[in-house]
Amino acid sequence: MSQAFQFQLKNTDGKARLGQISMPRGEIRTPAFMPVGTVGTVKAMYLDQVRDLGADIILGNTYHLMLRPGAERVARLGGLHNLIRWEKPILTDSGGFQVMSLSGLRKLDEQGVTFKSHVDGSLHHMSPERSIEIQGLLDSDIQMQLDECVALPAERKEIERAMEMSVRWAERCKVAFGNQPGKAMFGIVQGGDQPDLRIRSAEALKALDLKGYAIGGLAVGEPQAVMLQMLETTLPVLPNEKPRYLMGVGTPEDILKSVAVGVDMFDCVMPTRSGRHGLAFTRRGKVNIRNARHAEDMRPLDEASSCPASRDYSRAYLHHLVRSNEALGGMLLSWHNLAYYQELMQGIRAAIAENRFADFYAETMENWARGDIEPV
Amino acid sequence: MSQAFQFQLKNTDGKARLGQISMPRGEIRTPAFMPVGTVGTVKAMYLDQVRDLGADIILGNTYHLMLRPGAERVARLGGLHNLIRWEKPILTDSGGFQVMSLSGLRKLDEQGVTFKSHVDGSLHHMSPERSIEIQGLLDSDIQMQLDECVALPAERKEIERAMEMSVRWAERCKVAFGNQPGKAMFGIVQGGDQPDLRIRSAEALKALDLKGYAIGGLAVGEPQAVMLQMLETTLPVLPNEKPRYLMGVGTPEDILKSVAVGVDMFDCVMPTRSGRHGLAFTRRGKVNIRNARHAEDMRPLDEASSCPASRDYSRAYLHHLVRSNEALGGMLLSWHNLAYYQELMQGIRAAIAENRFADFYAETMENWARGDIEPV
């Protein structure tokens, strides 16, 4: 562990990068997948399970946490780690994305956003400075700048305006964050689907010399090819020696392809949300456990997995639990999916370390394409 | 373990009884509390947790399981134990109680009941023989006779008619069950709130020489005093050397008081259902974790407990989880409550073994009456 936030690039294989973030609360092996602990809990999981699966860091949603239990309350309770019993690093988003997507947005201007809580209808104001203040009250280890994320498709003018304001907000967030050697504040590249705007955004943020860079405003409905094109455009502009985080992504395939172009960090609700709806991600692609073919299949999702949820519970039982809307169904499938995501990241890291990422990529894609085991 | 179903009365202290049921799948220490695994899952719990808390047996609901996944399907999958991964004994109810309370009941006569599934509206018929057949397909270790449970208050005539038919159904169930040395079929005493009908029911069932006896039709809305009076009336009629099971009961206080008059077995959804709604049972009475007094209380529910849910998670976090409708809230409070119920049963058994049940009873009641720890 390190008293200061440090990123070490350990190996590259093609554009894929193997690295490690070191900070006081622990080390984060990259490429890393961060399970999403929305409101102080990775849904339907014990955090002990999340840790045991190999997650080095989880994500918390500032928007949810500021409304409930509230940032000042979390601070009085000793910070988010203390409240939820998670000792490793936590990354928090700025709250901006969910303010804009979940709340009743009232006003957005240079100063910040005014919005109505979806929980109790109360009015709140969030500026870049307040976002950083809240993330500090939560005692977040990696904090994100407030940005404006424009839903695609959008007018170029609108994308440009939001991108430029986001750069100005990054400056304000950097000032508000100040000097905290054991923590980090990341900037967020915006620019929608416009390559030149992405480049301008990345260059402006690079000039701010931040500790890490996120790519925002992707995986918001655009085709995967557009997302990858934006990454290929943006990443070369960013400094090599800083971590790159693709926000809110994604499917296992999105992750594998993004690692291939040089992304280091990911977060997504997909493994837990899909799990609650009966969708399992496996080495052999997606499995919809609600499907009747599983009703009398006593085989597990993946007998070769070391995760009990994947290895010890039959498809027939999972099918029954999900069909019956039983909590244990979501518990087991969230566990399985998070295990699969961490296993994928572990496989990616090992492959880059051994300079065989291209082979790993091909094999992994091939296995997904093979599809599920034959029905019984 | 025993190849045959056996009940051994190990000690009595006043009317309280310490015993042990031995059967091929394991031993059941009595007085026993059976967590309810409604539809093949003790809600929001891993069965490993249930076992680790000291539960020797769980209950399955025949009505739910016959509809989903279906009795014949469970049999094809190797029985309920195999499907849900629980190796110890399982007791199943007859399905009758829930047919009458949950389904669209169409017809009830001497032959049995016809009802409409609450899941898909399909029509089903259940006779005493079919109930036993289904419980056999589930591979249940302790099976219950089909009975008719009359909701109180009710006309004496109606209570008497249902009680008499239930006795005739017990005879039919006994014949249908046949000779299965490693398993047991229990009769169910009915008779509502009428002492003489309870006695007649118990005598008639006793004459059938069944392996155990349940007391049904209580805890259906009548005052606790009526329940206890019915137990005191009924239990002396039943044979000493057979286990007595009070169905669907109850609060910790109901259980303690029922043990005091000679009951050996209990089941209830209360610890899990209440847990999901934010109500915790503790050594110091009931705690409503939704209450604002817990919002900034970093103390656990019970620091002296050996259950992680009770000892390691703060009230503030539990409060937050329950208020936010997060799955983990129900998971932790169900775990805590089941731990408390098993701890209570363990305390009861130890006290009877040492002939100090009266003291244990007084201390336990006193602690409950003291109420929760002072607010912070």
User: Quick check: B328 and B321 in contact, CB under 8 A?
Assistant: yes
What value does the CA radius of gyration of chain B take, rounded to a whole number of Å? 20
Q: What angle do CA B43, B44, B45 make, to 5 degrees?
A: 90
Q: Chain B: give the shortest CA distance to residue A50, in Å.
A: 13
- Distance CA(A343)–CA(A54), nearest Å, equals 8
Q: Determine how β-strand B90-92 pairs with β-strand B58-60.
A: parallel
- A102–B contact, CB cutoff 8 A: no
Bridge partners of B286?
B281
Contacts of A223 (CB under 8 A, 6+ apart): none
Task: Tell me the chain B residues in contact with residue A84 when contact means C-beta distances shorter than 8 Å.
Answer: 317
Which is more confident, A104 or B204? B204
User: Quick check: A296 and A276 in contact, CB under 8 A?
Assistant: no
- Using the predicted structure, report yes or no on whether residue A170 has a pLDDT greater than 70: yes
ipTM computed for the complex: 0.97
3-class state of residue A149 by DSSP: coil
pLDDT tens figures, B164-192: 999 999 999 999 999 999 999 999 999 99
B contact residues 154-193, partner A, Cβ 8 Å cutoff:
none
pLDDT tens figures, B234-280: 999 999 999 999 999 999 999 999 999 999 999 999 999 999 999 99
Average pLDDT of the residues in A309-331: 98
Residue type at B19 in one-letter notation: G
Kindly determine whether residue B326 and residue A43, on different chains, have CB atoms separated by under 8 Å.
yes
DSSP letter, residue B150: P
pLDDT tens figures, A111-125: 999 999 999 999 999
Q: Chain B: give the shortest CA distance to residue A326, in Å.
A: 7
What value does the CA radius of gyration of chain A take, rounded to a whole number of Å? 20
- B78–A contact, CB cutoff 8 A: yes
- Using the predicted structure, report yes or no on whether residue A320 has a pLDDT greater than 80: yes
pLDDT tens figures, A151-161: 889 999 999 99
Contacts of A141 (CB under 8 A, 6+ apart): A23, A24, A25, A57, A89, A90, A91, A182, A183, A184
Burial A179-204 (b: 16+ CB within 10 A, else e): eeeebbbbbbbbbbbbeebbbbbbeb
DSSP letter, residue A325: T
* Nearest by CB: A326 against B39, B313, B331: B39
- B63–A contact, CB cutoff 8 A: no
- A327–B contact, CB cutoff 8 A: yes
pLDDT band, very low/low/confident/very high, at B1 (cuts 50, 70, 90): low
Work out the mean pLDDT of chain B and round it to a whole number.
96
For residue A270, what are its two tokens?
């997909």
Q: Chain A: give the shortest CA distance to residue B316, in Å.
A: 8
Q: Distances from the Cα of B335 to the Cαs of A224, B340, B348, in angstroms?
A: 42, 9, 20
> Which of A172-181, A201-210, B118-127, B259-268 is the least confident region?
B118-127
- Using the predicted structure, report yes or no on whether residue B103 has a pLDDT greater than 80: no
Q: Say which of B13, B267, B297, B302 is annotated catalytic.
A: B267
Contacts of B152 (CB under 8 A, 6+ apart): B192, B193, B217, B220, B221, B222
* Nearest by CB: A312 against B76, B85, B316: B85
Q: What percent of chain B stands above pLDDT 70?
A: 100
Q: Say which of A267, A297, A302, A372 is annotated catalytic.
A: A267
Task: Tell me the chain A residues in contact with residue B44 when contact means C-beta distances shorter than 8 Å.
Answer: 327-328, 331
* Nearest by CB: A76 against B296, B312, B321: B296
Burial class (CB in 10 A: 0-12, 13-18, 19+), B215: buried
Pick from A324, A335, A336 the residue to mutate for testing the B interface (most B CBs within 10 Å).
Answer: A324
Kindly determine whether residue B85 and residue A323, on different chains, have CB atoms separated by under 8 Å.
no
3-class state of residue B3 by DSSP: coil
Average pLDDT of the residues in A5-13: 98
Kindly determine whether residue A331 and residue B44, on different chains, have CB atoms separated by under 8 Å.
yes
3-class state of residue B294 by DSSP: helix
Instruction: State the pLDDT at residue A1.
Output: 66
> Which of A314-328, B96-110, B350-364 is the least confident region?
B96-110
User: Quick check: A17 and A238 in contact, CB under 8 A?
Assistant: no
Chain B residue with the nearest C-alpha to that of A331:
B44
Task: Tell me the chain B residues in contact with residue A296 when contact means C-beta distances shorter than 8 Å.
Answer: 73, 76-77
Instruction: State the pLDDT at residue B221.
Output: 84
pLDDT tens figures, A30-56: 999 999 999 999 999 999 999 999 999
Q: What percent of chain A stands above pLDDT 70?
A: 100
- A43–B contact, CB cutoff 8 A: yes
Up-side HSE of residue A65: CA atoms within 13 Å toward CB? Answer: 36
Work out the mean pLDDT of chain A and round it to a whole number.
96
- Distance CA(A123)–CA(B134), nearest Å, equals 57
Spans of all domains in chain A: 6-267, 275-369
Kindly determine whether residue A46 and residue B328, on different chains, have CB atoms separated by under 8 Å.
yes
- B6–A contact, CB cutoff 8 A: no
Pick from A87, A290, A317, A336 the residue to mutate for testing the B interface (most B CBs within 10 Å).
Answer: A317
DSSP letter, residue A220: S
Q: What's the farthest any 2 CA atoms get from each other in chain B?
A: 61
pLDDT band, very low/low/confident/very high, at A196 (cuts 50, 70, 90): very high
Torsions phi, psi for B106 (to 5 deg): -105, -40
User: Quick check: A215 and A230 in contact, CB under 8 A?
Assistant: yes
- B69–A contact, CB cutoff 8 A: yes
Task: Tell me the chain B residues in contact with residue A65 when contact means C-beta distances shorter than 8 Å.
Answer: none
Task: Tell me the chain A residues in contact with residue B326 when contact means C-beta distances shorter than 8 Å.
Answer: 39-41, 43
Bridge partners of B48?
none
Among candidates A372, A348, A371, which has minimal Cα distance to A361?
A348
Q: Chain A: give the shortest CA distance to residue B368, in Å.
A: 28
Bridge partners of B143?
B92, B185
User: Quick check: A167 and A206 in contact, CB under 8 A?
Assistant: no
- A8–B contact, CB cutoff 8 A: no
Instruction: State the pLDDT at residue A47.
Output: 98
Burial class (CB in 10 A: 0-12, 13-18, 19+), A306: exposed
Task: Tell me the chain A residues in contact with residue B315 when contact means C-beta distances shorter than 8 Å.
Answer: none
pLDDT tens figures, B290-311: 999 999 999 999 999 999 999 9
0.80 surpassed by pTM? yes
Q: How is B205-238 classified by DSSP, letter by letter?
A: HHHTT-SEEEE-S-SSSS-HHHHHHHHHHHGGGS
Q: What percent of chain A stands above pLDDT 90?
A: 93
pLDDT tens figures, A172-194: 999 999 999 999 999 999 999 99
H helix or E strand, kind and range, residue B83 = helix B80-84
Pick from B328, B332, B334, B336 the residue to mutate for testing the A interface (most A CBs within 10 Å).
Answer: B328
Instruction: State the pLDDT at residue A151.
Output: 87
| Domain B6-267, CATH number (from 1.20.58.100, 3.40.50.800, 3.40.50.300, 3.20.20.105) | 3.20.20.105
Q: Provide the annotated binding site of B for substrate.
A: 93-97, 147, 190, 217
Task: Say whether B267 is catalytic.
Answer: yes
Kindly determine whether residue B327 and residue A73, on different chains, have CB atoms separated by under 8 Å.
no
Task: Say whether B254 is catalytic.
Answer: no
User: Quick check: B35 and B58 in contact, CB under 8 A?
Assistant: yes
Kindly determine whether residue A73 and residue B296, on different chains, have CB atoms separated by under 8 Å.
yes
